[in-house]
A and B are shown apart, each in its own frame.
Chain A
């Protein structure tokens, strides 16, 4: 008898376990606030509202504030779900799609991810904000992506150190003047308290994206018009590099290796930015996104180093290249089977000057890509970017169209190898890079 009761209990327990596993999808999801930080339980779209998947955890709070402000104004609830911290956003989104749990607005990175979502994105061509920006994502003549911010790739410098060393950043217009500036600063390294002239980090397991995509990316765009796709088109055809342009570019990389901190081959992003924030490097090969790090995580070191002014010079590997690379690093797309109307209204409100722009600028630190916008974030790079934009000397980010994963799986390591001195000269480096890219496109 006892045995029988036990057996029934066991069976019941098993059934319950099975049932709860099945019922998991039907059960109401955890409150959105938890879902965004835990990311284990996906949030659900509120009734009549919209859900937005974001991939920058650092702006999670700001976006939630934005969502709240929007709900107060229109009564439409907006749920922000931030994926990040080691989670691959696109892979998670694919899972959401398979589980029939797509958000109404989600983030994607342009050409690399467009093929995945082809046919699933709503056409945003008729939205008013399209006329207010140049950074929207366009494919085949239609607008699919809402730009959120502007990020800039340029050689960031510490204006105080350059002034003390007597180097005018405006004088750096090409490879010779860049070398001369580096030499001048290097000679005064000790009295300026520098570890090295440049913080060029090439560690390849976590930081591959910096050399492998951004420094590499300057080859495609430096000094070119925003719509000039000559070199990326060549590259997309089997990973080919134009040697006439790539050779001077590789010599710039050689110059970086000469003047960088050798710790860069195994350093982290944090160490690189902290080194720059505390005034140990005159230049750093990171873009405008480090502004947020300087203002928050590294605030103490930055203040201790005198809260110096920051500027950006172009990666000028050919004389006369005068552009920095600016772009929206990713776009918000609208899922065509979601709540498209409300999503469009929300995006329109975000772009409008009297709407979300202020929150996006002040709380998320976004540098607005919209012409009508009047709010600037409290970011050390905001001024520089505004100057370059006003002067019309910006280039695009065509490296975004490289084959998916190339930075992590192919190019990043080559930069590290070169920085460790495993190639005798820039030519070997370039030949290896060419071979790696060709192979990557072939396989």
Chain B
């Protein structure tokens, strides 16, 4: 009885659902302003899945349930990540203006981008920034973690206050520090703000970024350090190891996996640096001679360069091409990260 009803109901629901989805999509692409198309799409999808769920099969029932459960996430992932990514790559081969494109230009955008000394400069300083940050943030974070776990009085207070800058947004932080550099410590710097010269401005960004990010890395190191078994440390103490030996021979090897994690965290986040850069210098700064050119974007890192190309230079297609290049760099870094972390886990 039940199965007969299902046999009838299932195809009806499937067809009705599919029809609703298709009609609403057609309405959307045809530019219909009807406010029904949204709810119709959603109801269509639900009806379709109801039909799928009731589909009279024993063999594939489990698989159908998996698909239904996966669908919301897959759908969201596709809408927010996959479709924009594919569209973005497509746009990078056109002369897209943010409104429309008139022609497909092939690799022109990619050629233009590597011919522009300003962009090469941005790549260069991004790499310098990443290396500097990776080393310094880990160093500072680790030292702060040692300090906070050393049993110092008020350790909890220090831990909280070092972490606090991480809770302030990068833009706000950037403007606060801009004020500091331009008004407070300007007397110490010959009345010319650190932010006015490219070299010192880059250094200023590094300082601010460490200030923001070291507390976060510190927390991860603290977790690592507190997870070292007490008996190992006790054994080292009994064997007469001094604090330096304990640190280098016991503690650091024991938290090797934490170090890997922190290294890659700082690496990827430094690559994507945008907000502090934007608020602090907005990319401005002079470079007297780079590849025979005078540059005006002395402190402009990759992410900001992409943003300014699209928004301020109003060249969306070129910005998109740069973003694709940026995506490739980040993808390579992330893949290496996964590889290395996997290896480390096996070793442990």
Contacts and interface: CB of A to CB of B under 8 A. Distances in A.
Contact of B196 (A97, A265, A404): A265
B303 interface: no
A389 interface: no
Given A409-B308, A409-B313, A436 B296 contact: yes
A23 B297 CA distance: 42
Contact of B280 (A112, A203, A205, A417): A205
Looking at chain B's contact residues, the main secondary structure is mixed
Interface in B82-110: 97-99
B296 A11 contact: no
B284 interface: yes
Most buried by A among B98, B195, B293: B98
Interface string A74-118: 000000000000001011001001101000000000001101110
Interface string B300-333: 0000000010111111100000000000000000
Contacts of B39: 23, 26
A262 B112 contact: no
A112 B285 contact: no
Interface in A179-212: 203-206, 208
Looking at chain A's contact residues, the main secondary structure is helix
Contacts of A204: 196, 282, 284-285, 296
A286 interface: no
B150 interface: no
Interface stretch (A14-22, A227-235, A342-350, A390-398): A14-22
B72 interface: yes
A330 B33 CA distance: 31
B76 interface: yes
A265 B33 CA distance: 52
A411 B178 CA distance: 21
A409 B312 contact: yes
Given A22-B42, A116-B97, A412-B284, A88 B311 contact: yes
Interface stretch (B13-21, B123-131, B134-142, B186-194): B186-194
Nearest to B285: A413
B72 A18 contact: yes
B311 to A, nearest CB: 5
A128 to B, nearest CB: 30
Interface in A21-48: 21-23, 25-26
Contacts of A267: 182
Given A117-B99, A206-B282, A266-B182, A408 B308 contact: yes
A443 B296 contact: no
B98 A94 contact: yes
B197 to A, nearest CB: 8
Nearest to A91: B311
A205 B299 CA distance: 10
B70 to A, nearest CB: 10
B313 A266 contact: no
A405 B42 contact: no
B314 A405 contact: yes
Contact of A205 (B76, B118, B282): B282
Contact of B73 (A14, A98, A410, A412): A14
Interface string B47-79: 000000000000000000000010011011000
Contacts of B73: 14
A385 interface: no
A97 B294 contact: no
B314 A420 contact: no
A214 to B, nearest CB: 17
B234 to A, nearest CB: 43
Most buried by A among B33, B97, B313: B313
Interface of B: 31, 33, 35, 38-39, 41-42, 69, 72-73, 75-76, 97-99, 112, 115-118, 178, 181-182, 186, 191-193, 195-197, 280-286, 288, 293-294, 296-298, 308, 310-316
Interface of A: 11, 14-15, 17-19, 21-23, 25-26, 88, 90-91, 94, 97-98, 100, 112-113, 115-117, 120, 203-206, 208, 262-263, 265-268, 403-405, 408-414, 416-417, 420, 422, 432, 435-436, 439, 443
Given A266-B195, A443-B115, 10 more contacts: A91-B311, A205-B195, A262-B191, A408-B312, A409-B296, A413-B298, A439-B117, A439-B293, A439-B294, A443-B116
